[in-house]
Amino acid sequence: MKIKKVYFEDENLCVVTDEGCVMKQPLKWYPHLLSSSDEERQQYSQSTVGLHWRTLNTDVSFESFYYDKGSSALMYVG
């Protein structure tokens, strides 16, 4: 998966893939991101396996966006 855009909406981490899919996860699963500033949230890097915020010591795997749609861990908007 390639991420074209990372943004935060309400209390969710949102990504837009290169295929145009919008995927969301609740920030409550990532306490450091939840309590961080907008500036800190924009300081991430992308690898082949996910997103990394070095200053926040937080990693989010791409795989985590594909968890079961019925799980409270994921909201998927196709």
Tokens at 38, concatenated: 């907008």
Residue closest to 13 by CA, chosen among 5, 21, 24: 24
8 forms beta bridges with: 13
**pLDDT tens-digit series, residues 34-45:** 999 999 999 999
Which residues of the chain are under the pLDDT cut of 50? Answer: 72-78
| Reported pTM | 0.80
